[in-house]
Amino acid sequence: MKSCLSIQSHVCHGYVGGKAAVFPLQTQGWEVDYINTVNFSNHTGYGSFRGKAIEEQELTPVLNQLNRLHLNYNAIITGYIPNADLIRSIGEYIQAFKDNISSKLIYLLDPVMGDNNYLYVDKTCVSEYRDVLSHEIVDIVTPNQFELELLTESKINGPESLMVAIQLMHTKYRVPFVVITSLDGSLLAHDSSSIYCAISTISSPEIRLFKIPIIKSYFTGVGDLFSALLLDKLTKNLGDQVSPLDSLSPLDSLSRSISQVLTIMSRTLRMTHKLALKLYNKNVPSGKDLEGKINDGDTMKYFELRIIQARQFYDYDGDGEFEPMVLK
């Protein structure tokens, strides 16, 4: 039985953070313990919310007790952490876990800090994440383009600068698996109708890209679901090798995992979009097109990820529908 500790945000209504990650992992046989870094009424994309973040003095005793129990987690996944003190405490816990309980623990860090040049955590979080990375405890990191720029202190303005930033994650922070979840297509391929996902492993100089068509709407929780699915698929593809002759390289295992994850994500988002339009047209028969917009609760409520309805997709184990290309 696989076990995972998930440390992410929580909302009462909707599907972001842990609510977008825990259920998909459970359907795939993971026992998931979870800590909520915030407890909000709804995600912030509605324009208003109520609730509060956990305090460090509340978090630390929980982590200390988990240590005393010697729980042998196979993986830890972290998402939205709202301040530097919490990031530091969680990093220290994971360091201790790897040192004292299981060096084989897989740590997936999703450094949720912002997007589209907008920082939505305190700026001290950036340096604290760099400090966590410097301890070389992160096995998989999944920043978006803006977060990669923050972590590497470099601007991504084309293929060469992307290569430099990714290699820095390998050489300076020794991260085995780097996945950049969303990159501006116009910077990489003069393609404004798509975003790109870039992947790299410490064992290979090759960087691969996946082209992702844009659905014209704003969805939340996409990165949280992506990271959870990636953890599941990558552990399976790395661990389910029949023999050394049949085994995939780490880059090929990551590549297959990403194609699988993107296939599941594509099906989930298409379903979400279809059901949103159907529900909207039933409730608001105006004939106008519906598009989810940030800070607009009247539209955002229709575009909550259909995490439960999409459960039929999570066990997909084919090669995936997305073909990688080599970054040059």
Question: For 57-113, what is each residue's pLDDT tens digit?
Answer: 999 999 999 988 888 899 999 999 999 999 999 999 999 999 988 888 999 999 999
Q: What is the mean pLDDT of residues 27-55?
A: 93
What is the spatial distance between Cα 29 and Cα 33, in angstroms, rounded to a whole number? Answer: 13
CB–CB of 296/47 below 8 Å? yes
Per-residue pLDDT, 300 = 79
Model confidence at 177: pLDDT above 80:
yes
What is the model's pLDDT at position 241? 47
- In whole angstroms, what is the distance from residue 200 CA to residue 253 CA? 11
Write down the number of H helices and E strands in the chain.
10, 12
- pLDDT band of residue 129 (cuts 50, 70, 90) is very high
Percent of the chain with pLDDT over 90: 73
Q: Can you tell me the mean pLDDT for 202-219?
A: 89
Token pair for 179 = 């996945």
Q: Give the sheet arrangement for strand 106-109, strand by strand.
A: 51-53, 30-40, 2-11, 75-78, 106-109, 140-141, 177-184, 194-201, 208-213, 325-326
Q: What is the pLDDT of residue 5?
A: 97
Task: Out of 45-59, 181-195, 210-224, 239-253, pick the least confident.
Answer: 239-253
pLDDT in tens, 224-252: 999 999 999 999 999 854 444 456 899 99
Please give the helix or strand (H or E) that residue 281 lies within, else none: helix 250-283
What average pLDDT score do residues 213-226 get? 86
Give the pLDDT mean for 176-201.
92
Q: What domains can be seen in the chain, in order of their start residue?
A: 2-326 (3.40.1190.20)
The token duo for 89 is: 């405490």
CA of 308: how far to CAs of 10, 44, 120, in Å?
16, 21, 28
Residue 289: pLDDT band by 50, 70, 90 thresholds?
A: low
**Residue 213 class from Cβ within 10 Å (0-12 exposed, 13-18 middle, 19+ buried)?**
exposed
Tokens standing for 303? Answer: 């575009």
The letter for the amino acid at 185 is G
Is residue 132 predicted with pLDDT exceeding 80? yes
Positive or negative, the Cα torsion across 282, 275, 270, 8? positive
pLDDT for res 192: 82
CA atoms within 13 A on the CB side of 5: 20
Predicted model pTM: 0.93
**Residue range 291-316, pLDDT digits in tens:** 667 767 777 788 899 999 999 999 99
Measured CA to CA, the distance from residue 18 to residue 226 in angstroms comes to 12
Percent of the chain at pLDDT above 70? Answer: 95
Residue 78 confidence (pLDDT): 98
Q: What is the mean pLDDT of the chain?
A: 91
How many Cβ atoms from other residues are within 10 Å of residue 242's Cβ? 7
